[in-house]
């Protein structure tokens, strides 16, 4: 055989009559992981993205939709790598997935995570070619406190503001996926396993600025998503997923958001995942991934 720089197409395939062959199509999807990509240098800390980029032999140049995913953490410091194995299953469906680090409640307060999530979208648009992202097809998503952040980021329209780190690059997205978001603080049992609920030491109290939310209804309403959506709110189509046995964020948080969005005539879908607690493998089953996949594709229909 001649020694040279062979192209894939011209390189002769090797087979052996004594060796079994497993077929392939070239459409099988692998996932490449870019870790700790700095997307923002804030006074409090550098913020990072974990970026999962799908690839296949038959698609070496095409641009992919991007799902921007805010990893939940009760607004505390995030474990950014925890969800990578599960999220790679979504990436294998053909989506770039970018996991967002936000400023946690130990160094900043609401709405800092929302500002950070929107700047992550801007960064990804600016660098779309590097990560094979189609900048016209982007989805905002998140889990738990990240779900709260994702929904707010979806209807906070602050392009061109002082918080915009990348002027000229939009932070708007075509849809929102809210996984069991901690979206309401307007009822007593919204966080069933938090004995110090609404106190300055609670996750929500720390995120509000280390204040006592029991004595501050105005701030509770400001942080509760359903209290801030009206018929005039511009918000993309939204998918809400919540476990029926969630001991950390009561499913009624999501139901309240769903009902308010329906009442104000917004495009929203909600599914309860039977038996699921606060996260877990149930949210990455084929059934749920099929639902998420179908929702995303619908968001990009013209």
Question: What pLDDT does 2 receive?
Answer: 87
- Return the structure tokens found at 60: 């070496």
In the chain, % of residues over pLDDT 90: 96
Question: What pLDDT does 34 receive?
Answer: 98
Question: What pLDDT does 280 receive?
Answer: 96
Question: What pLDDT does 164 receive?
Answer: 96
Question: Closest Cα partner for 45 from 69, 84, 80, 81?
Answer: 80
Question: What pLDDT does 10 receive?
Answer: 94
Question: What pLDDT does 1 receive?
Answer: 80
Under 8 Å between Cβ of 91 and 54: yes
Average pLDDT over residues 10-36: 96
Question: Closest Cα partner for 302 from 136, 172, 154?
Answer: 136
Query: Is residue 117 in some structural domain?
Result: yes
Question: What pLDDT does 140 receive?
Answer: 98
Average pLDDT over residues 266-289: 98
Under 8 Å between Cβ of 101 and 78: yes
Measured distance CA(111)–CA(152) in Å, rounded: 9
Question: What pLDDT does 302 receive?
Answer: 64
End-to-end CA distance of the chain: 51
Question: Residue 249's domain spans which residues?
Answer: 49-55+62-193+222-299
Question: What pLDDT does 254 receive?
Answer: 98
Confidence of residue 194 (pLDDT cuts 50, 70, 90): confident
Question: What pLDDT does 290 receive?
Answer: 98
Under 8 Å between Cβ of 267 and 229: no
* pLDDT over 70 (residue 165): yes
Question: Closest Cα partner for 240 from 228, 229, 224, 256?
Answer: 256
Query: Is residue 9 in some structural domain?
Result: no
Contacts of 117 (CB under 8 A, 6+ apart): 68, 70, 100, 102, 140, 142, 149, 150, 153
- How far from the centroid of its chain's Cα atoms is residue 276's Cα? 19
Query: Is residue 16 in some structural domain?
Result: no
Under 8 Å between Cβ of 53 and 94: no
Query: Is residue 126 in some structural domain?
Result: yes
Average pLDDT over residues 279-284: 97
Radius of gyration of the chain (CA): 21
Query: Is residue 37 in some structural domain?
Result: no
* pLDDT over 90 (residue 109): yes
Query: Is residue 258 in some structural domain?
Result: yes
CB neighbours (10 Å) of residue 28? 11
Confidence of residue 107 (pLDDT cuts 50, 70, 90): very high
Angle made by CA atoms 44, 48, 53, in degrees to the nearest 5:
170
Mean pLDDT score of the chain: 96
Question: What pLDDT does 61 receive?
Answer: 82
Query: Is residue 211 in some structural domain?
Result: no
Look at the chain and report how many structural domains it folds into. Answer: 1
Contacts of 18 (CB under 8 A, 6+ apart): none
Task: Flag the least confident range among 55-64, 143-152, 179-188, 228-237.
Answer: 55-64
- φ/ψ of 299, rounded to 5, equals -60, -25
Query: Is residue 201 in some structural domain?
Result: no
The CATH number that applies at residue 126 is 3.40.50.1820
Measured distance CA(146)–CA(165) in Å, rounded: 20
């Amino acid at each position: 055989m001649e020694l040279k720089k062979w192209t894939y197409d011209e390189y002769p395939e090797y087979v052996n009559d004594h060796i079994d062959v497993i077929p392939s199509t070239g459409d099988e999807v692998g996932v490449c992981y870019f870790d700790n990509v700095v997307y923002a240098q804030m006074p409090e800390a550098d913020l990072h993205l974990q970026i999962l980029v799908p690839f296949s032999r038959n698609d070496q140049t095409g641009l992919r939709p991007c799902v921007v995913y805010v990893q939940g953490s009760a607004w505390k410091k995030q474990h950014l790598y925890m969800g990578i194995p599960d999220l790679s299953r979504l990436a294998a469906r053909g989506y770039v997935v970018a996991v967002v680090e936000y400023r946690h409640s130990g160094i900043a307060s609401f709405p800092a995570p929302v500002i950070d999530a929107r700047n992550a979208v801007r960064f990804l648009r600016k660098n779309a070619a590097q990560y094979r992202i189609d900048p016209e097809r982007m989805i905002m998503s998140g889990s738990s406190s990240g779900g709260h952040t994702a929904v707010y980021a979806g209807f906070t329209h602050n392009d061109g503001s002082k918080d915009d780190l990348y002027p000229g690059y939009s932070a708007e997205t075509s849809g929102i996926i809210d996984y069991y978001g901690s979206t309401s603080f307007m009822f007593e049992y919204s966080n069933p396993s938090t004995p110090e609920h609404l106190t300055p030491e609670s996750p929500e109290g720390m995120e509000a600025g280390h204040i006592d939310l029991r004595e501050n209804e105005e701030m509770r309403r400001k942080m509760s998503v359903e209290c801030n959506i009206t018929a005039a709110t511009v918000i993309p189509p939204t998918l809400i997923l919540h476990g029926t046995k969630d001991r950390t964020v009561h499913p009624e948080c999501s139901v309240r958001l769903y009902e308010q969005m329906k009442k104000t005539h917004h495009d929203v879908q909600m599914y309860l995942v039977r038996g699921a607690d606060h996260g877990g493998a149930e949210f990455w089953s084929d059934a749920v991934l099929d639902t998420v996949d179908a929702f995303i594709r619908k968001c990009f229909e013209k």
